[in-house]
Amino acid sequence: MTKDSKPLYSLIVDELKKQISSGDYKPEDQLPTEADLGARFGVSRITTRRALEELERDGYIYRIKGSGSFVKSIRRSPSDGRSDAAGSMVSLILPTEADRGTMGYIRGASEWLNANGYYLSIHQSDYDSQKERSLLETLAKDGIAAIILYPRNDLSNYDVLHRLYLYEYPIVTIDKYYDSLPLVSVVSDNFDGTYKAVSRLVELGHRKIGFLSGFSIESTSSVRDRYFGYCQALKDHGIPVDSRHVRLHMRPYRDEVGVDRFYAELLESYLSDGITAVQTENDLVAANMLNRFLDAGLRIPNDFSIVGFDNNPVTEHLIVPLTTVEQQFYEIGRKAAEIIVDWLNGTKPAPEKVLVPVKLLERGTTGKAPGP
């Protein structure tokens, strides 16, 4: 054991994983023997054998009796257990099948894949980064042809995604992108969506416009781009960005105090600061706000304007139809599948962020700013 109670074999595992991910050891390279690793790290062969067993279990290497340990190529030969069925399968990893736009993603991807001789399998990470990691590693190891990933956030599993990129495994992300990873991503034009919405609120006479999100802009590229679009629209219309009007990463506090208290405090703060409109992170946040502000006696949109994002089906069941920014979920799924099929057919795409246009849908929750 090390001073921090970490098993000695895990230090060897971590070091070898680092060298494989960085390309020091390339696919099909032979690793040092148990004896060589023991001499290098000053440990017994039992310890180095355990380290190599862990690397094999995690899918980094394969071992041939009498020959040694070799770095595994993610798209290795059929001898690694890959079946013809798996080779025709593309997997879509989603945080949950109940999330907004999920059926659009599934329909768009599956219809394109089916028309081109491939099939779609659906997997849920349940908003669990470790489960997402396990799916990424297992699906690639089991010979699935490609992966379309809706990430839980854009902070987790960088090492796995980098390794997939390094070994040229076909993977495309949707909804979110990674600034520092050269992957292909298909995402809505989130910046343009809030830019259009906030610009329209300015046209309606609003000058104090809030922005509300349950997530931080550091952890979620979609929310980050929406916030940046909000800021740019204000700047372009000569309105300063006021930090008092911006609420980010509010989900932990909302969960702590409860939804009712959260929105009561939010309304009191907005009214005391003279805020007359707000751009929310998504339609579910906007719907919660709308219902509670109506219960508090506000007239929407006479007293206050609210804009959502997504065009979620929930907007069809609200007391006041919600103004929102519509995402093209079907097109995102279809475009991601198109890129995957081209890749599997030999046309590897350059790393890029593919932007799918959005549309502002004006409904009943936005109107002219209230008078003095």
Question: Which residues, in sequence order, are CB contacts of 275 under 8 Å at separation 6+?
Answer: 208, 209, 210, 245
Give the model's pLDDT for residue 80. 40
Q: Examine the pLDDT at 193 and tell me if it is beyond 90.
A: yes
Q: Chain-wide mean pLDDT for the chain?
A: 89
Confidence label for 81 from pLDDT (cuts 50, 70 and 90): very low
Q: What CA–CA distance (Å, rounded) separates 2 from 10? A: 10
Nearest to 183 by CA among 193, 191, 174, 194: 174
Percent of the chain clearing pLDDT 70 (strictly above):
93
Which has the minimum average pLDDT: 39-43, 198-202, 301-305?
39-43
Give the model's pLDDT for residue 319. 93
Q: Examine the pLDDT at 205 and tell me if it is beyond 90.
A: yes
Are the CB atoms for 96 and 102 separated by under 8 Å?
yes
Pairing of strands 305-307, 209-212: unpaired
Question: Which residues, in sequence order, are CB contacts of 223 under 8 Å at separation 6+?
Answer: 190, 213, 215, 216, 217, 248, 281
Question: Which residues, in sequence order, are CB contacts of 207 under 8 Å at separation 6+?
Answer: 239, 276, 369
CA atoms within 13 A on the CB side of 110: 10
Are the CB atoms for 190 and 222 separated by under 8 Å?
yes
Q: Examine the pLDDT at 5 and tell me if it is beyond 70.
A: no
Give the model's pLDDT for residue 76. 38
**pTM of the full predicted structure?**
0.77
Q: What CA–CA distance (Å, rounded) separates 196 from 233? A: 8
Confidence label for 311 from pLDDT (cuts 50, 70 and 90): very high
Confidence label for 99 from pLDDT (cuts 50, 70 and 90): low
Nearest to 101 by CA among 301, 272, 313, 288: 313
Which has the minimum average pLDDT: 78-82, 118-122, 196-200, 365-369?
78-82
For CA atoms 228, 234, 236, 239, the dihedral sign is negative
Q: Tell me the DSSP string of 280-305.
A: ESSHHHHHHHHHHHHHTT--TTTT-E
pLDDT digits (tens, 9 = 90+) for 170-186: 999 999 999 889 999 99
Question: Which residues, in sequence order, are CB contacts of 227 under 8 Å at separation 6+?
Answer: 194, 211, 213, 217, 246, 248
Question: Which residues, in sequence order, are CB contacts of 362 under 8 Å at separation 6+?
Answer: 200, 323
User: From the CB of residue 286, how many other CB atoms can be counted at a distance below 10 Å?
Assistant: 27
Cis peptide before 357 (omega within 30 of 0): no
Q: Give the DSSP H/E element, type plus range, for residue 103.
A: helix 102-115
**What mean pLDDT do residues 174-200 have?**
96
Confidence label for 61 from pLDDT (cuts 50, 70 and 90): confident
Q: What CA–CA distance (Å, rounded) separates 135 from 124? A: 9
Q: Examine the pLDDT at 204 and tell me if it is beyond 50.
A: yes
Pairing of strands 246-247, 277-280: unpaired
Give the model's pLDDT for residue 100. 64
Confidence label for 27 from pLDDT (cuts 50, 70 and 90): confident
Confidence label for 56 from pLDDT (cuts 50, 70 and 90): confident
**What mean pLDDT do residues 317-338 have?**
96
Which has the minimum average pLDDT: 75-84, 295-304, 312-321?
75-84
Q: Tell me the DSSP string of 47-86.
A: HHHHHHHHHHHTTSEEEETTTEEEEPPTT--GGGS--HHH
**What mean pLDDT do residues 347-364 have?**
95
Give the model's pLDDT for residue 77. 35
Q: Examine the pLDDT at 305 and tell me if it is beyond 60.
A: yes
Q: What CA–CA distance (Å, rounded) separates 220 from 300? A: 30
Residue ranges of domains in the chain, CATH in brackets: 8-71 (1.10.10.10), 79-187+329-355 (3.40.50.2300), 190-327 (3.40.50.2300)
**What mean pLDDT do residues 304-328 have?**
92
**What mean pLDDT do residues 19-26 have?**
84
Question: Which residues, in sequence order, are CB contacts of 281 under 8 Å at separation 6+?
Answer: 212, 213, 214, 215, 223, 226, 309
**What mean pLDDT do residues 160-168 have?**
93
Q: What CA–CA distance (Å, rounded) separates 143 from 80? A: 8
Q: What CA–CA distance (Å, rounded) separates 56 from 72? A: 9
Nearest to 283 by CA among 205, 361, 176: 361
Give the model's pLDDT for residue 98. 64
